[in-house]
A and B are shown apart, each in its own frame.
Chain A
Amino acid sequence: MSGASVLYDVPGPKARTRNLVYSVAGSLAVLALIVFVVLRLNTEGQLAPEVWNIFNNAGVRTNIRDGLLTTLQVFAVAAVLSLVLGVLLAVARLSDHRPVRWVATGFIELFRAVPLLITIYALWVLLLSNRESLGLAGNQPQFWALVIGLTVYNGSVQAEVLRAGINSVPTGQREAAYALGMSKTQVMTTVLIPQAVRAMLPTIISQLVVTLKDTSLGYIITFEELLFTARQMSTNIIVNGNDTYVPFIIVIGAIYVAMCLALSALANWIEQRGRRAKTGIGVATAGEPVTATDAMEVSDAVPDGPAATKD
């Protein structure tokens, strides 16, 4: 944010009055917007105490808790699997054997290019029609469709992030390891991947935030995660002749934003910590990895040291 102050002079007396006027006008505009929304919601009867009293109901609370736990469960399984898949795909894409490289590249490019929703939907249909032979009961087809879909998509993205990280490790590291007589596997697992993970950790965690947000796609394939549970309850619970979409969406939205903010804060903290340490390997910024779909473009997420050196 150091560039911002360059855009305008230090305000003099006249500019200070003008800025004050704009400040007041801007705040009033934002306030007016909020007041308008609140008033409209009030006339629609969405702010009545009875409507919000539903959250005192033990059943509603249990349902929200169960939905939250299901979301976290999907997130945990998909996060672990996507990281494992990401490491495998990154290593395969850097393999010396051409067929292995081709298969990995094809897999990554295909699943990165297709919308996640379409992958999840296709998997859901596939699992539903084969549920007997696979021995899936209840909501397991939805669960696995969501988990596998999230895994293949985020695994492909994590693979690209890791590959960028591995390529950013100075070549001297690899050469020194080979000179010591290490095998290819040893070089990869004990020298390259640890440094790549360390450099890319903020980006990896940012992608995990995306994974967490994308668990809400389970809503569309009728999987009972947080969003779907909330939607179902808001349709079923009628207060004063109104459905209760607004309170549920506000509460669930707050929960999602809080969860994602916590994870993003972790990524930012690690980025700042990495920037302080002077180890020679730059730590990537905590932004979401660039997911351009063409194979020619090596991911832009390559760490280029602290952001300050960019210009």
Chain B
Amino acid sequence: MKDLGVVKDGGLVKGLRARYGASPLHLLLVLCSFALALYAGLRLLKGNPVGVAIWFVGAALVHDLVLVPLYTLTDRALQAVLGTGSGTRANAGSPWINYIRVPGGVSFLLLLVWYPLVLRRVPDYQLTTGLAPDTFLGHWLLITGALFAASALCLLTALVRRSRVRPRRPAPPRSRPRD
């Protein structure tokens, strides 16, 4: 891109830059990578070209078009249910929705990575490895519980500390910790 504009002079270069939109080095580098991609890509596609192409393009879009709407809408729904007013109350620290977001997000991440085992999508797991296939769901649930418990502890600590360090203006300080 602009940062690769090493060659500054020459009408040819200028012409190319005007028509192409970047420096010749940009073009060369991209073409070089495409040649490699094509060389490997032909081998990648061999056998099941349609299936592989769907997987590859699907992989490029799955985060932006599936995961992002999924977790964004979940987050929205959560805020709608809990009320966004929750944010201002904890102004000095983290809005308390984060105490749900973070453990929830980590738990979702664990499920995303290990779902074939957690949801028992691998019929041959036990036959192949000789290991019990039914431990993963329990482990995931326990970890999820532990994450939320730790988060609750953090929130409690933050609330207690805030009520001690900085009594709130309008309300009498004594009533705060009960919140």
Q: A and B: real partners?
A: no
- Residues of chain A having any CB pair with chain B under 8 Å: none
- Residues of chain B having any CB pair with chain A under 8 Å: none
